[in-house]
Structure 1
Amino acid sequence: MAPGITELSERSFEVSKASSGYHGTRDGEDVVAAAAYTGQQPVNACPPANMEDAPLSFTMPSMHKLREAQRRVEHDFRSDTVTVPTVHMMQAMLESSFQDDMYDSTGDESVNRLQDRLVELTGKEAAMWALSGTMGNQICLRTHLVQPPHTVLLDHRAHVHCWESGALPVMSQASVTQVHPKNGIHLTLQDVKKHMIADGNNAKEISEFVRNYPVEEGQKPVAMHLDGARLFDAIAAEGVDLKEYCACFDSISICLAKGLGAPMGSIIVGSKKFINRAKFFRKMFGGGTRQPGMMAAAALSALEYTMPLLPLVHALTRRTADSLREIGYKISLPVQTNMIVLDLEDAGIPPAAFVEYGKRAGVTVFPTGRLVFHHQISAEAASRLVAGLTSLMDDKRAGKELENHKVTGGYM
């Protein structure tokens, strides 16, 4: 199966078959092993070349489909949501529980295990499964906002404001105060202080200020919600304690499909009182599920498999960014985790040409100039990406006419 991110030479993107997890051949073809990690040591985590030794639940046709899907996403830089299951994730789905999460009083066993694991990791009192990141965010906001009038203060680029189909004013009847960070990167305490309206760690400073902000007697204090879509990427990059970071917020929605590699779903964490109330809104928003155990089991498998790989994903991202800078591309934001945001307008490169040259190089990109790495991106794909964008820049400088038709897509 497709390899996870592998440790690379600082000078080259070339990866040997041994280091990328290849082992043996089958019918004249290379068989690629998915690299899993226990502590710091990589182990072979895929079915052996001899299919008779593979789990009985997998047949050759199903393994072929999975392998082809993994081969495709190895070269897909559109988002970290494009990942596909590993063999172990598929096995976990087959071995999951199948309780009705609504009718059964104790819920579903696999869902409970996933929720308990997130409680353990974040230090929060309780957790709740939700179908998607958007649903998780909107449930949290609606739970915090008792009744209008109320306002949500957020970064002007926030997902809950820009990319959730206008759900915030519809679901919670809330107005929005958009903040443009003075540093151009992220909100600071000064940004928040400047925009609050009276009716050490940056997150901790903001949290302490917001939670102590004066409100009229009888009103709820101002709440802190974190759209933790890629929380584990951020924690891995900053090297901060997850529980300490989560303590800065009253609620967190953690997407399991972005970065971690689950097929779908999010987990909301907060106090027991908050989660109990959030369950009511989950049902209202259409998020009551009957047999979510398979998805929960897949998410738990993804969580444990992918977390140790994130530093390697980030390292490959940084090295690729360095190569693109050397070619002459301007990068709009600091490369801190698994994303590179290229300023195509500054380079005078049409979005259509960006997509086309990626396609010629054998990689898939969105027209926005945002490149997202994930644990199934191969080192060879990073090399292809750099080669394709080098060719694009060379042709631009040579005055070659570039494709400039309308293209769509590219967000989240």
Structure 2
Amino acid sequence: MAAHGTYTPTKVIEEAKLDILAQTQEDDNAKWRRQVSRSFLSPTAEMYVYAVRASLGDDVYDEPCTKLLEQHMAKLTGKEALSCSPDTPKQPPYSVLCDHRAHIASWWTAFHSGAQLDYVIPLTGISHLDDIKEHVVLGSDITGTCPTAIIELENTLNGTIIPQQDVIEISEFAHANDIIMHLDGARIWHVAAETGTPLLCFSKGLGMSTSVLLWFRKLFGGGMRQTGFMSASAAYALTHHFPLLPGVHALTRKLEKGLEEIGVRITSRAETCMVFYDPSPIGVSYAEIIDRASKLPEPIKLGGSRLVVHIQTAEDTVDDFLAVIRKLAQEKKDAGFVYSEQQQKANGVGRSSIYVKVKASDLEKVQHQ
């Protein structure tokens, strides 16, 4: 900016101007989408074309496209309305009860609320009502306990579907005991594609640029003005991307089958769009796979044990990934590797969590070999 004392309106206006679009922006975007689709999901060009035609209302007062989306989603989910519902905020000391593998336990935390997290370790693969009852803390006595104020479910949980009947039973129990019920539905549209039970996140799975709908924004001082383009993106995703999810699930199962044929251990099966794997039975590390995949002519960006397929994942991406692992497995075999269950146990293989994220230091070791 100009030095203090030399400001003029003309200088400020000129210095404030900014053009962030490259001359080749459209071509760059097309190239970027192809590269990113090998690893992540992004909004499509067609979605943006549709979105910029949206209404230009102010959602603090009235936004036509957003209102239509809210009405549609209320009807679709069997709710009277989808809008802000004032309630008395729960203040610590209280606890949130969730599965020990839930994102709020392993990735996101209750840091800002100060809530304690209590964990359910279900006897089967998913939490049933009996699991919840065993761990819930009822009542309001805070002198020696931390009562459960929220029960949190995640559907899908690592790609595994929680049956709707279990959700209903847990929800009825929660409401009967004055406990808030929260469903993390980041991948709920994958559940809908398999079971016909819809809910509300538009980012993961459907490729919208933002995720959850906007129900509680005003309560926290976050009135969002021109929301029409976001509502239009959600409508486009519902109409054009949701029907693609059954194909995503089929491609994920192909990925799982290919991994098993190579000899890789599957640690969480492909019910929807995720599969978790352990490459140790073929003598390969996650770091080796990440390094090799990053060096493909069209790189694939990986992080560890979780593989996620989405609507922009091409079949050749899955084929390329399997080819990387197949080649590494053959290299290990040629070098004399022989799988031993006893040796794997001695080395500590078999983690309590199926999530394995590769450390930068482990990747650097592989790259310098």
Residue among 137, 158, 164 paired with 2:102: 158
Contact 1:101 1:289 in 2 (8 A): yes
Residue among 49, 57, 80 paired with 1:99: 57
- The reply to whether residue 148 of structure 1 matches residue 103 of structure 2 is no
TM-score normalised over the length of structure 1? 0.65
- The reply to whether residue 366 of structure 1 matches residue 323 of structure 2 is no
Cα deviation for residue 114 of structure 1 reads 2.6
Q: Report the AA paired with residue 100 of structure 1.
A: D
Secondary structure at the counterpart of residue 207 of structure 1? helix
Distance 2:120 2:281 in 1: 25
Range with greater deviation from structure 2 (142-151 or 221-230): 142-151
Mark the CA change 1:294 to 1:280 in structure 2 (over 3 Å): closer, same or farther.
Answer: closer
Secondary structure at the counterpart of residue 178 of structure 1? strand
Secondary structure at the counterpart of residue 255 of structure 1? coil
Q: Report the AA paired with residue 85 of structure 1.
A: P
Mark the CA change 1:326 to 1:295 in structure 2 (over 3 Å): closer, same or farther.
Answer: same
Q: Which runs of 5+ in 1 are unaligned?
A: 1-59, 77-81, 130-139, 214-220, 247-253, 269-274
Q: Which residue of 2 aligns with 1:385?
A: 321
Residue among 78, 102, 122 paired with 1:123: 78
Distance 2:303 2:334 in 1: 22
Contact 1:260 1:302 in 2 (8 A): yes
Mark the CA change 1:241 to 1:94 in structure 2 (over 3 Å): closer, same or farther.
Answer: closer
Contact 1:143 1:281 in 2 (8 A): no
TM-score normalised over the length of structure 2? 0.72
Contact 2:191 2:197 in 1 (8 A): no
Q: Report the AA paired with residue 381 of structure 1.
A: T
Distance 1:110 1:406 in 2: 49
Residue among 125, 128, 135 paired with 1:188: 128
Cα deviation for residue 327 of structure 1 reads 0.3
Distance 1:347 1:201 in 2: 39
Cα deviation for residue 396 of structure 1 reads 2.8
Summarize deviations over 1:116-142 as a string: whole Å, max 9, x none.
23222212233359xxxxxxxxxx9x9
Q: Which residue of 2 aligns with 1:89?
A: 47
- The reply to whether residue 230 of structure 1 matches residue 187 of structure 2 is yes
Distance 1:378 1:369 in 2: 20
Q: Report the AA paired with residue 333 of structure 1.
A: S
Residue among 170, 184, 205 paired with 1:259: 205
Contact 1:235 1:241 in 2 (8 A): yes
Q: Report the AA paired with residue 322 of structure 2.
A: V
Secondary structure at the counterpart of residue 210 of structure 2? coil
Distance 1:241 1:377 in 2: 24
Cα deviation for residue 329 of structure 1 reads 0.7
Range with greater deviation from structure 2 (287-296 or 344-353): 344-353
Q: Report the AA paired with residue 155 of structure 1.
A: D
- The reply to whether residue 376 of structure 1 matches residue 334 of structure 2 is no
Mark the CA change 1:369 to 1:398 in structure 2 (over 3 Å): closer, same or farther.
Answer: farther
Distance 1:302 1:143 in 2: 31
Q: Which residue of 2 aligns with 1:74?
A: 37
Percent identical across equivalent pairs? 30
Let me know the Cα RMSD of the aligned residues.
Answer: 3.0
- The reply to whether residue 305 of structure 1 matches residue 240 of structure 2 is yes
Question: Which of the two has higher C-alpha Rg?
Answer: 2
Contact 1:354 1:369 in 2 (8 A): no
Q: Which residue of 1 aligns with 2:112?
A: 170
Distance 1:145 1:282 in 2: 11
Q: Report the AA paired with residue 71 of structure 1.
A: R
Cα deviation for residue 288 of structure 1 reads 3.1
Residue among 244, 256, 262 paired with 1:321: 256
Contact 1:153 1:196 in 2 (8 A): yes
Cα deviation for residue 176 of structure 1 reads 1.5
Distance 2:88 2:302 in 1: 35
Mark the CA change 1:144 to 1:373 in structure 2 (over 3 Å): closer, same or farther.
Answer: farther
Q: Which runs of 5+ in 2 are unaligned?
A: 1-22, 140-163, 338-358, 365-369
Contact 1:73 1:377 in 2 (8 A): no
Residue among 220, 226, 231 paired with 1:291: 226
- Choose between structure 1 and 2 for higher RCO, CA contacts under 8 A separated by at least 6 residues: 1
Distance 2:281 2:201 in 1: 32
Mark the CA change 1:190 to 1:346 in structure 2 (over 3 Å): closer, same or farther.
Answer: farther
Cα deviation for residue 162 of structure 1 reads 2.9
Distance 2:42 2:130 in 1: 41
Distance 1:407 1:292 in 2: 42
Distance 1:87 1:336 in 2: 29
